[in-house]
Amino acid sequence: MKVAIIFGSKSDTEKMKGAANALKEFGIEYKAYILSAHRVPEKLMETIQNIENEEYECIIAGAGLAAHLPGVIASHTILPVIGVPINAAIGGMDSLLAIVQMPKSIPVATVGINNSYNAGMLAVQMISLKYPEIKEKLKKYRINMKQKFIKDNEEGVEL
C-alpha cells in the first residue's frame, strides 16, 4: 500500500509534511515528488504512469496560485486524487476554488487550505477499505482521539 504525494514547488515542502506525517502514523508507504503541471508536464505524465504501474492506492497533490496540478493529475489517472490547496495568494481561496471546481467526471477530493494532514488522513480512510489492518488502526486512532478530548475536557482549562 503506497501513496504518492506530489506538489509543485520546493517552497510547498513544509505545508505538505502533514500528509507524510499522517501516513507514517499508520505505517503507509509514500513517496514525495516535486513536479509542476506547467514547468515539467512531460515529467509529470511519466511519473503518473509510473505511479499507476507501481500500484499506488491514491495521489495527494498540493498546489497554490492557479493550482492546476491536482486537476491535471486527475485527468490522467483513474486513481483517487486528493487536492491540497496551498495558500500562496488571496488567503488560498484561489487555490481552493481551482481544485474544488473540477469538470464533470474528473473529480478531485479536496481538503482545507494548507491542511495536508487531512489529505493524509483521507488517504488512510480510502486505504482502510481494502486493508483490514489499517481499518483497525484507524478505529483505534479515533477512539484514542476521543479519549484524549474527554480527558482534556475533564481536566479543564483556565482562561
Which residues are annotated as part of the binding site for substrate? 9, 12, 39
Q: How far apart are the C-alpha atoms of 156 and 152, rounded to whole Å?
A: 6
Q: Count other C-beta atoms under 10 Å from residue 73's C-beta.
A: 27
Cell 482534556 found at: 152
Q: What angle do CA 24, 1, 99 make, to 5 degrees?
A: 75
Known binding-site residues equal 9, 12, 39
CB 60 within 8 A of CB 123: yes
| H or E stretch covering 90 | none
Residue 46, phi-psi category: left (phi > 0), alpha (psi -120 to 50), beta (remainder)? alpha
